Amino acid sequence: MSVEMLYEKDVTTNYLKGKKVAFIGYGAQGHAQANNLRDSGVDVIVGVRPGKSFDKAKKDGFEVYPVAEAAKKADWVQMLTPDEVMSDVYKNEVAANLEAGNVLGFSHGFNVYYKEIVAPENVDVVMMAPKGPGNLCRRTYMEGSGVPALYATYQDASGHAEDLAKEFAKANGAARVGLLKTTFKEETDEDLFGEQNVLMGGITALIETGFEVLTEAGYSPQLAFFEVDHEMKLICDLIYEGGFAKMYNDCSNTSEYGSYTRGPRVINAESKEAMKRNLKEIQDGTFAKEFMDEYRGGFKKLYKYRSEMEKSELQKVGDELRTKMPFVAKADKYSD
């Protein structure tokens, strides 16, 4: 089912005017959205715990408060902490400070969809989910553009929650390039599915496996890295610019024919069934429960997986080769 794309001309209401918006969290998305909305004329404050993010928000010129105080001062509380800690932050510092008529906003549906957060009935619950990382949201906004965004309403206490979500997205710059209506369920299902099966889980497994096949067959790790890892960005850039048609047009007939005939041997019916299983576990809450249990148990598996990834031959070879390529931006390891 297709949905209509909306743009700035389609967002004509003004319910956001006069509202004080508190951003709870000042990481990648919090920083980008807070600055974008302030530059769009919205009254913005930031609520974070003392530390790096608190200091950064202060340096950027915001009024910064402890989370509970920021929530109490605001008309709109935008929750932008990591998924796993959000429910604790909400229950311990936000919930008691919400008032009738407030807006509780999100940029991902996880906590609301899986009922980690259950808002009181007298507040609006909305979502504005940019389809891009925070640094890109900020950069494109400053360039006069933006990244597309999804908007949704979970609870409409005021009678104009949907308009508020659209206005918030417009103030973030998203309506310059397109807004799509969704639901908390749909956004959560599709976002988790994309991350797990294609954008992160799928692509990293594909790169790692390709690297292993080549090196185990005796090929140079350095050549294998350039072939299956480094060039991935270049191919994805072509797809981003013009879809598969541009990508194939800019590559050789040999690579195109090989892609059509050999690619399905790797990503095939068995892969599709695995994706369907993963989607089912997202839909029925199995993944969410597993993830939150993992967090509450101290992230033992996550830290083990992360350590193994960082020590892998592919990561080591890539780290070494990237130091020789000045055109590759230096990574800020573990930055938020």
Q: Which residues are tagged catalytic?
A: 108
Establish whether 195 is an annotated binding residue.
Answer: yes
Establish whether 227 is an annotated binding residue.
Answer: yes
Establish whether 29 is an annotated binding residue.
Answer: yes
Is 43 within 8 Å of 62 (Cβ atoms)?
A: no
**At 44, which amino acid appears?**
V
Cβ contacts of 129 within 8 Å, gap of 6 or more: 106, 107, 108, 109, 149, 150, 151, 152, 182, 187, 191
Centre a 10 Å sphere on the Cβ of residue 189 and count the other Cβ atoms it contains.
Answer: 17
Establish whether 231 is an annotated binding residue.
Answer: yes
Centre a 10 Å sphere on the Cβ of residue 254 and count the other Cβ atoms it contains.
Answer: 8
Cβ contacts of 285 within 8 Å, gap of 6 or more: 114
Report the alpha-carbon distance of residue 287 to residue 291 in Å, rounded.
6
Smallest Cα–Cα separation from 93: which of 70, 114, 119?
70
Report the alpha-carbon distance of residue 128 to residue 179 in Å, rounded.
9
Is 176 within 8 Å of 145 (Cβ atoms)?
A: yes
Establish whether 158 is an annotated binding residue.
Answer: no
Report the alpha-carbon distance of residue 228 to residue 259 in Å, rounded.
14
Report the alpha-carbon distance of residue 88 to residue 90 in Å, rounded.
5
Report the alpha-carbon distance of residue 184 to residue 179 in Å, rounded.
15
Establish whether 49 is an annotated binding residue.
Answer: yes
Establish whether 27 is an annotated binding residue.
Answer: yes
Smallest Cα–Cα separation from 196: which of 271, 301, 304, 264?
271
State the residue for tokens 């928000």.
Answer: 57
The pair phi, psi for residue 28, each rounded to 5°, is -60, -55
Is 29 within 8 Å of 80 (Cβ atoms)?
A: yes
Task: Report the binding-site residues for substrate.
Answer: 252
Task: Report the binding-site residues.
Answer: 26-29, 49, 53, 134, 191, 195, 227, 231, 252
Task: Report the binding-site residues for Mg(2+).
Answer: 191, 195, 227, 231
